[in-house]
A = this chain, B = another copy of it.
Amino acid sequence: MSAPNVATSRAVLAAVGPPVTLARTWLRRPPVAPPPPRRPMSDALRARLATVTDLQHAAAVLDWDQETYMPSGGAEARARQTATLRRLAHEALTSDETGALLDAAAGALGPDAGETERALVDVTRRDRARALCLPAAFVEAQAAAQAEAMEAWKHARAADRFADFAPHLERLVGMAVEEADRVAPVVAEARGPGYAPTDADRRYDALLDLYEPGASTAEVAAVFDELLAGLVPLVQRVTARPAPDASFLHATYDENAQWQLSLDVAAALGYDGARGRLDRSAHPFSTSFSAADCRITTRVDARFFPTAFFGTVHETGHALYEQGFPPELDRTPLAAGASLGMHESQSRLWENLVGRSPAFWRRWYPDVQRRFPDALAGVPEDAFVAALHRVEPSLIRVEADELTYHLHVLLRFEIERALLAGTLAVRDVPEAWNERMRQYLGIVPPSDADGCLQDVHWAMGAVGYFPTYTLGTLMSVQLWSAMARDLGDLDARVAGGDYAALLGWLRAHVHRWGRVRTAGEILHAATGDRLSAAPWLAYAEARYDPPAR
């Protein structure tokens, strides 16, 4: 017989006061958290940073819920709740007390201070300094402008009317310039006395630094130029040949079987299911609330095999990174990816260098073929692998193949730089977009909806984000080369299913650092090199345009 199953934690009630609803939730966990492990850093500073990160992670839980299970009616309250959590995190980080604790910690750092301890102080001080650059009134005005722009963008895209979005983009670009100018001094100080960019690059650096700390716009531009010079002719050579048949990828693939395959491949790659889980969402993403709770989502398309499979492998790469942060960084700002680019290097490494490789399919194809007999029974392994490498210029970035994808990114980067430098007017964005599409990809969007209105980023005011997608991909190959140097024949390991060796190397050379080191520092220590496009170009040519045998 059914009986009441509600109880309460008296500690919770006593701490909060009112017997509100949540008091009725059955709480099997202990009512208070165990004390954090003792470490040399000041307890007061540790506690303060724990509060900041707990609030951020709580907001991330609310976001995850919103994208996975929240009923539609919950959206309005949810927006307020996450806004409250993020406001409190901001207040806790920027408070005078936190500043004093950080100053004291900085003063107490002796010459023998550990790298982690030093980074904790330096990174947090920079985060705080950056947050302090923007007055509350500006942040509010920017947030309001972004919210309006988002709505306008949705309508403009649906109606294919760039002109309706243009005034919003204009306003957001103006605000991005203001933000960049406010933040630039902090960025400059972090880079030391030798930092002397052009005025335009100083601005873009200031925005880019949020996603790719320490990166230089000039260096990124140089690397992207090198990439463009090699990639455009490569794509032309590849697409001049007959495209491989990929029609069977659009056959019917049982959704439950796809789901099980997603679970299996994530586990095989080393994703720890006791510290994560897989759910469905409209857009695949990964998120984490601690190194012991790193979740991924995917979506399943019954009529296109790669959607769920590569979505899962991609997000698994992100999650493997976060599951690899060392426990001593827990509840500090250092328990995060070194940069979005470095994060993307992990997802791209597993997605493309492992998951799309012929070696990988040598092991997996027979299994996958058995799981989807209707679709794949008559498809040989090499035809399947070839289909996964079909290259075809197309309009939409998120649907692009492994090669042409970067041409989409490069044109956005160029347009962003020109907008920020004032050398391109917002009203001329469609023309600039279409001209580059023609130059780089040989096609011109028939509409702005399929052109410069396709991405959400600018409507969210995110300038400087796009390049990290390509930066991560370039880094993934540089890391892969270093891994091969250390581990020998990676194809043989992949073909043999020894993903643990790869993961172990990434743990040791990338994951362990969290934000203790910048992406550039991690890359250099692991590979001996600076960021470069050459390794990726060499990989892409070998994979997509091999010399005739």
Contacts and interface: CB of A to CB of B under 8 A. Distances in A.
Given A284-B5, A398-B3, A93 B340 contact: no
Contacts of A2: 284, 306-307, 309-311, 313-314, 351
Nearest to A398: B3
Interface stretch (A51-59, A190-198, A423-431, A502-510): A51-59
Given A8-B465, A27-B460, A29-B66, A93 B58 contact: no
A30 interface: yes
Contacts of A213: 19
Interface residues of A, number: 151
B61 A7 contact: no
A21 B397 contact: no
A224 interface: no
A277 B36 CA distance: 35
Given A24-B340, A79-B32, A10 B398 contact: no
A469 interface: yes
B13 A90 contact: no
A7 B89 contact: no
A293 interface: yes
A216 interface: no
Tell me which of A14, A78, A347 has the highest count of chain B C-beta atoms within 10 A of its own C-beta. Answer: A14
B65 A61 contact: yes
For the complex formed by this chain, how many copies does it contain in all? 2
A344 interface: yes
A76 interface: yes
Contacts of A331: 77, 80
B65 A77 contact: no
A277 B344 CA distance: 34
A492 interface: no
A211 B19 contact: yes
A33 interface: yes
Contacts of A540: none
B72 A55 contact: no
Interface string A20-63: 11111111111111101000000000000011011111111111
A446 interface: no
Contact of A293 (B22, B55, B71, B273): B71
Interface stretch (A128-136, A225-233, A361-369): A128-136
A336 B19 contact: yes
Interface stretch (A101-109, A144-152, A371-379, A434-442): A144-152
Contacts of A144: 32
Tell me which of A292, A309, A397 has the highest count of chain B C-beta atoms within 10 A of its own C-beta. Answer: A292
Interface string A149-177: 01100000000000000000000000000
24 contacts: A2-B313, A3-B398, A3-B405, A6-B285, A6-B340, A7-B462, A8-B465, A15-B86, A15-B139, A17-B128, A22-B63, A23-B211, A25-B64, A26-B283, A26-B285, A27-B460, A31-B143, A34-B76, A57-B81, A69-B279, A71-B292, A71-B295, A73-B274, A77-B330
